[in-house]
Structure 1
Amino acid sequence: MNRIVIITLLFLNSYIASAQLFSKERVLNNQNVDKDWISFGFILGFNSYDFDFDYKANASNTDIIVDKSAGFNVGLLSNLRINDYLDLRLEPMVTFSQRNLTYTNPDFNNSREGFREIKSTYVHIPLLLKVSTKRLNNFKPFIIGGVSTSLNLSSNENNPDDNSAGQFRTTNTTNYYELGFGIDFYLPYFKFTPSIRGIFAMSDELIRDNDLDSPYTSQIDKLSTRGIFLNFVFQ
């Protein structure tokens, strides 16, 4: 019985708090922050990059495992206000990531040959459309999407050495589409915006090895980046 009472009280407390959050009039922070035609901010965040592999139809004994690790982002925001619900955003940033590839096919004599460590530093430039709801007290949810391009400073595209010398190569530039959501929080002195979004490459990024029968690249039809960004914007 005591447990039922406690659960009931917690439910009622949550319900009352939720009702007050959406209906009770509150003091509005930063009422003019969204009225500027152009505004700026800075971005800090985290990322998790992955690779999506498409194998050739005749590929056999091919399975590449991607071990992902968390990276971080830092950048700037330029926001163009279209109206109360639409904003056009440019978010140039630098992102740092690492992915480890493990080839499980039997063409390698030892595990070291079938392992590749890929550290990447991207200059990532998204152009995004932000679609917001009406402001609710001191927060405003939104969805966001658009296209982006990136320059991979660690791609090794122009490196004459390939996997036979331990160099895994990808293209310098990649185009993506992006989609995500977030919430604007209006604090007393600034606007704080956490958001999460996925990025998906639109092209093949793999640079093939010089050996057409290379066990590292010959059975891959397409390699493309995908990832998740968790960003925190301060305006």
Structure 2
Amino acid sequence: MKKTLILAIFFLSILPAQAQIFSGDKVINNPNFDMQRWSWGYFLGFNTYDLNFDYKDYSANPSTGKDFSVDRTIGFNVGLVGNLRLSDHLDLRLEPGVSFNRINFQFWKADGDTFREINSTYVHVPLLLKFSTTRINNFKPFVVGGVSTSLNLSSNENNPEDNYEGQFRMTTNSYYYEIGFGIDLYLYYFKFTPSIRGVFAINDELVRDDNDPASMYTGNVDKMSSRGLFLNFTFQ
């Protein structure tokens, strides 16, 4: 449901481009915008995060094969954009920002306190390559991909309490690869860009329970990594 809502917002945002295609409008806005060596902007957007678990023993929970049930919610993104033009169809982008999100999940195996609400604030820094098509009237589709790192300000990594005291802990630093697509829309005064991007963690982000290697909460987890879907609206 959350992903469907994000996709719906994205497609609604590109309706002006579709209208321009079929209306035959030939008025070119900001014709020299992409000739700049450097350009700057900012973005606002939404995100939804998930946690992907790899288990040592999938038979521990025969009904689902999983120890955790994860519920995604919609969060908020804000940040800056720095764009370096490399060629007519290739740009290098740095998009440092902050994202706020919440993940709810529950341990199936554990008794007692099994629900966790993880409110996270990430300082997220992607370095991306943007591959664009040739501009058509006032719009230009593109795909984007790259790598990123983030600082989880709410990780609890150094908290001496663990899940037995109700504290779920994640690593402070995480690393990702990202891939997505979008459309540049050239308006009269600025360029507006709606885009969707998938974000996938590379490293293991789970901090195990220190006092019990066979912990019912973390003992069966081989790797835990976050993944997210970002819908951003960029203004340049």
TM-score normalised per structure 1: 0.87
> Can you list the C-alpha shifts for 1:92-145, whole angstroms capped at 9, x where unaligned?
00000000111122x30x4xx111111110000000000000000000000000
CA distance in 1, matches of 2:29, 2:19: 20
Q: Give 3-state SS (helix, strand or coil) of 2:21's partner.
A: helix
What residue identity is the alignment partner of 1:200?
F
1:181-224 deviations in Å (ceiling 9; x for gaps): 00000000100000001000011110000211211100111100
1:230 matched residue in structure 2 = 231
Counterpart of 1:229, as a letter, is F
What code does the residue aligned with 1:85 have? Answer: H
Specify the alignment match of 1:135 in structure 2: 135
Map 1:1-235 to 2 at 5 A: 21=21, 24=24, 26-57=26-57, 60-61=60-61, 62-105=66-109, 107-108=110-111, 110=112, 113-210=113-210, 211-235=212-236
Report how many aligned residue pairs link the two structures.
215
SS of 1:21 mapped into structure 2: helix
Residue identity opposite 1:163 in structure 2: N
Offset of residue 24 of structure 1: 4.0
One-letter amino acid matched to 1:220:
V
> Residues of 2 paired with 1:69 and 1:19: CA distance?
32
Would the alpha carbon gap of residues 66 and 229 (structure 1) be closer, same or farther in structure 2, given more than 3 Å must change?
same
User: Rg larger in 1 or in 2?
Assistant: 1
* Aligned residues of 1:180 and 1:198 also touching (Cα < 8 A): yes
Q: Distance in 2 between matches of 1:94 and 1:145?
A: 19
Equivalent-residue separation in structure 2 for 1:218 and 1:20 (angstroms): 56
Counterpart-to-counterpart distance in 2, 1:161 and 1:59:
29
Partner Cα distance (1:58, 1:93) in 2: 37
Q: Distance in 1 between matches of 2:221 and 2:56?
A: 6
State the Cα distance separating 1:146 from its structure 2 match: 0.2
What is the alpha-carbon distance in structure 1 between the residues aligned to residue 73 and residue 19 of structure 2?
A: 40
Q: Secondary structure at the match of 2:34?
A: coil
Distance 1:193 1:176 in 2: 23
Q: Which runs of 5+ in 2 are unaligned?
A: 1-17
Deviation at 1:57, TM superposition (A): 2.8
Change (3 A) 1:58 1:189: closer
Percent identity over the alignment is 62
Contact conserved, 1:93 with 1:123, CA < 8 A, in 2?
Answer: yes
After TM superposition, the score normalised by the length of structure 2 is 0.87
SS of 1:34's equivalent in the other structure is helix
Displacement of 1:39: 0.5
Matches of 2:37 and 2:188, distance apart in 1:
21
Paired residue type of 1:122: Y
CA contact (8 A) 1:37 1:81 kept: yes
Could you tell me whether the CA contact under 8 Å between 1:59 and 1:219 is conserved in 2? no
